[in-house]
Chains A and B, each alone.
Chain A
Amino acid sequence: MIPLRVAIDPFPISVPLVIRLQNDGPSEEGTAGVIHRGQGFVEYDVCGLSLTVRTPDPDALDGDVVLILPGQRSLHRLIRNGSPHNTFLVTEQCDQKCVMCSQPPKAHHVDLFDPFYEAALLGPYGTTIGISGGEPMLHKERLFDFLLRVQERRPDIEFHILTNGQHFDKNDEPILQRLDRARILWGIPCYSASPETHDDIVVKAGAFETLERNLALLGKNGHRIELRTVILNANVNGLADLSLYVTTHHPHISFWAIMQLEPIGYGRQNWGREFFDSSQNFDPIAAGVDIANIRGLETVLYNFPLCTVPEPYRRFCANSISDWKQKYLPTCSDCSAINRCTGFFEWYPEERGFSSVGAL
């Protein structure tokens, strides 16, 4: 597992600090160069102050854009150099309580859009930044402002924004038109074509109706959407129906991600009730994939280890589990497909997981 936070010695700041760490070259505005390497730590020069980072592997931090909050004894690796999995967590608040949520909501909110803006400007050329939460659109004025400001200074940066799609309305259309639609992909979950089933899963009455309207609103304004569906015992048998529904009523959706459950947060709490063992029965998922393919909707299977998927459907599997929380099982060491395989979540409970896994 790759650490996203790294310990530091107390550092005297009163406002959040965003800097890019670098092994070589002089420190200039926004960057901090190495001034001393010791046993298990490294010192950087931050505008004349010494920042001590406790790490056995300082090279892994080279080029990272990091955030240090006043009073905290660790830094946050906001943009890890060379990683495609960098995400800004903009809030932990949410208006849904989805049964599979990997990051259950909290009431408290700290606004970090300003440091995120600084971090984006320091990011490598053409990088993709994930925006996640909680529900980022609960702070949509700040989010829109952030996106517009970044796209003005850094038009090369792409955004993948995860949202529950509940908070758009007609008044957002002028801003939706100003955003760079070619560089934003909205990742929006929909769990079922049945309003009752969807609402039950996200634990919010009326959520489906709002979602349906807002998917259409984004589509009409030319925005690109990745539809995301986590499979659960509660919705798996409706996947063919959902596939028909999406391809009929939401033709502007660009991709469909069908995802296996992540065993953390509520997903871990509800694992026993909701985990669907697709290694035993892949049929309902296959039906959804086939219908989408025939209708021309590009479909991707996320978080499915290849050995749990029948051979004809393996070509739809993506290596989707983020590098920092990805692991392989002992049996995987003999597998010929390991390089193409997404593997397992770090917190995958082997004894309660897929009944059939094994080297290919």
Chain B
Amino acid sequence: MKVWPLKFREHDHGELLFTNEAGGFFRSDQRFLERYVDGILTDDDFEFLRRHGHAYRDTSDAAFDGFCGRWARRINPVSKLNYFILIPTLRCNLTCDYCQVSRAPETASGFDWNDEILRQFLGSLSKLDTETIKIEFQGGEPLLRLDILEEVREFCRNNFRQAEFVVCTNLQSVSEEAWEFLGAADTFISTSFDGVEEVHRSQRTKESVVHSEFRSNLQRAFSEFGTAKVSALPTLDVHNLPDPDTVIRSFVELGLRSIYLRRVNYQGFARKRYDFRDTQEAWMEFYRRFVDRLVEHNWENDDAVEEYYLSHLLRRIFRTGVQNHVDLRNPNWLGYDYLVVDFDGQYYPTDEARMVSRIGRLDLSIGDVDSGIDARKRDVLNSAASNFEDPDCIHCVYQAYCGPDVIDDLSRYGRIDIPRHETAHCQHHTALFDFAFELIYSEDPKVQRSLGHWLGTPKYRTELAARLK
């Protein structure tokens, strides 16, 4: 019997979590670790390990093929370009605290797509090798350029078998023409709602008149289109964190069952002032408290609520092939399946790459609508797209579930080769995976009830939280 390489990490109560490269995991103790290291595993050890996909008799054993299959299915394949994030204008009618670099005043000129960019962009769409397309309109406030949105949507509807549109709007000032545009079956609304009225006002709308305009538009969006078409994301400032229960209640009142907690991603000067290391602990403390309150909510109520990113991590732990969230996948190919097109026609691999470039720290553009993709530059970025060869990641117990974030490393440190565990991305994800595994091994029936909801099944099963005694 052969055992696939095991990695381990100490978890609570001195138990060790073991994982393999295909994402299999179990908990055991120091004595097992010693038997493993000394090469004196027992027959019972081998039987447990084979049953749970950590060992095989020989290469003709189905357990061998099973491992290879699970390993391969965790790889994010390069896929065809079929998703664009467009910035038709950088202008915006709000001045939110945390939006330091990605906006221009509403009345400014020179911050919109011109006719030439629009023409070139549509021209590039017609060369795509895909039957389906997804377009996300961002900004700035995209509804300030409804005319461009109309034209892009019409073009996509006529040139692709299936087209889907998301308008990321602040819902501040919505004309009747805009409501009509948003009402189409193929068009979805993504808006910002910071979870608590006072927080939302202090961070975003400022004036009470402006705030009540937003509130009435938010109500109208949900009552007219429902949660199938409208989603809302909170942006939270780690220095001004809201009460979890109030956030949960506000989202539930809107009919939303999924809350994606995002913290303010400081750029430039603000990043220097609010150092990641100083805020990480406070954020995780809040995050755990928030999830505890969700667990409590789900115990008391039938309509279960999730924290989106935690559910995503749980799915990536238990399943293979979960590649539907572009922020966490491995390899995290940049500039292939989706592209950001800025107000000046420049291509960026991600929205954060666009912001890093705007503050003049590094130019992470990878071409433009006129000259196309700069393949050489894209290749350079993708040289570190996977965690397979990373000298630190290969020792990490969470490697199979995680994925690198080259852009975040570049934006914070200006380089990609500093020790992984010193990076914000690694520290944050290590803390999140630690927390996820605490939940997976929790014996609290309330936690288990929530896990079932978050993993899309009536009842969580502890058989999947294996322990080798």
Contact surface of A with B, Cβ cutoff 8 Å? 212-213, 215-216, 219-220, 240, 244-245, 248-252, 286-287, 289-291, 293-296, 310, 312-313
Contact = CB atoms under 8 A, between A and B. Distances in A.
A248 B53 contact: yes
Contacts of A293: 455-457
B461 interface: yes
Q: Can you list the 5 inter-chain pairs with the closest CB atoms, starting with the nearest?
A: A296-B319, A249-B66, A312-B458, A293-B457, A216-B65
B52 interface: yes
B66 A248 contact: yes
Contact of B70 (A251, A290, A313): A251
B62 A240 contact: no
Given A219-B65, A240-B463, A248 B320 contact: no
A290 B62 contact: no
B463 A249 contact: no
9 contacts: A219-B65, A251-B70, A286-B459, A289-B457, A290-B452, A291-B464, A293-B455, A295-B319, A295-B464
Nearest to A297: B319
Given A213-B62, A216-B62, A296-B321, 16 more contacts: A212-B62, A216-B66, A248-B52, A248-B53, A249-B53, A249-B62, A251-B70, A290-B452, A290-B461, A294-B318, A294-B319, A294-B455, A295-B319, A296-B315, A296-B318, A310-B458
Contacts of A215: 62
Contacts, number: 77
Interface residues of B, number: 28
B79 interface: no
Interface of B: 24, 51-53, 60, 62-63, 65-66, 69-70, 73, 315, 318-322, 452, 455-461, 463-464
Q: Is the interface of A mostly helix, strand, loop or mixed?
A: helix
A251 B73 contact: yes
B463 A291 contact: yes
A79 to B, nearest CB: 28
Nearest to A299: B457
A251 B69 contact: yes
B270 to A, nearest CB: 40
Contacts of B318: 294-296
A250 B62 contact: yes
Given A213-B60, A248-B52, A295-B319, A290 B460 contact: yes
B164 to A, nearest CB: 23
A295 B322 CA distance: 11
A313 B458 contact: yes
A180 B318 CA distance: 31
A244 B320 contact: no
Nearest to B56: A249
Contact of A250 (B60, B66, B320, B456): B66
A263 to B, nearest CB: 28
A215 B52 CA distance: 18
Contacts of A248: 24, 51-53, 63, 66, 70
A286 B63 contact: no
Contacts of B452: 290
A289 B464 CA distance: 13
A219 B458 contact: no
A53 to B, nearest CB: 42
Nearest to B68: A220
Nearest to A248: B53
A166 to B, nearest CB: 15
B445 to A, nearest CB: 15
Contacts of B62: 212-213, 215-216, 249-250
B89 to A, nearest CB: 40
A249 to B, nearest CB: 4
B3 to A, nearest CB: 15
Contacts of B69: 219, 250-252
B436 to A, nearest CB: 13
A293 B459 CA distance: 10
A213 B63 CA distance: 10
B463 A251 contact: no
A104 to B, nearest CB: 29
B32 to A, nearest CB: 19
Of the listed residues A213, A245, A296, A313, the one surrounded by the most CB atoms of chain B closer than 10 A to its CB is A296
Contacts of B322: 296
Nearest to A288: B461
Contacts of A219: 65, 69
Given A295-B318, A295-B319, A240 B461 contact: yes
Contacts of B315: 296
Contacts of B63: 248-249
A66 to B, nearest CB: 36
A310 B457 CA distance: 13
Contacts of A251: 66, 69-70, 73, 320
B27 to A, nearest CB: 16
B60 A290 contact: no
A59 B455 CA distance: 48
A347 to B, nearest CB: 31
A244 B66 CA distance: 12
Nearest to A291: B461
Contacts of A216: 62, 65-66
Contacts of A313: 458
B418 to A, nearest CB: 34
A291 B51 CA distance: 15
B286 to A, nearest CB: 27
